[in-house]
Amino acid sequence: MRDEMMVIVMQLNGQDMLRVTPSSVRKQAYTPLPTGVDMHDRIEKALINDGIAHNVTMVGHVRDCGKSSDYLVTFNSVAGLTA
């Protein structure tokens, strides 16, 4: 099933971190953002590794707020995920 969610990317202790909103989707608030060529690939790897998505179809930059950036992510969700 195709779904959307906002994610926040920010640096903590010198490392890029990803926060999925709402935080109820998973237990930990922040996860390290994998290295990659572009933000789409990096976010996709993180959501697949966390068992949230099968794949990511679109990543759209929404806004920058201080040292963080918000992205709207469209993805094919893992069965049974309730966001």
pLDDT for 49: 87
Asked if the structure places residue 82 within a domain, the reply is no
Q: In the predicted model, is pLDDT for residue 81 greater than 90?
A: no
pTM comes to 0.81
Residues whose CB is less than 8 angstroms from the CB of residue 48 and which lie 6 or more positions away in sequence, other chains included: 54, 55
pLDDT for 25: 56
Q: In the predicted model, is pLDDT for residue 24 greater than 80?
A: no
pLDDT for 51: 86
pLDDT for 69: 94
50: nearest Cα among 73, 27, 82, 67: 27
Domain span at residue 37 reads 2-77
Read off the pLDDT of each residue in 34-42 and give the average, rounded to a whole number: 85
Read off the pLDDT of each residue in 18-36 and give the average, rounded to a whole number: 71
Asked if the structure places residue 83 within a domain, the reply is no
In angstroms, rounded to a whole number, what is the distance separating the alpha carbons of residues 54 and 3? 11
Q: Provide the domain count of the chain.
A: 1
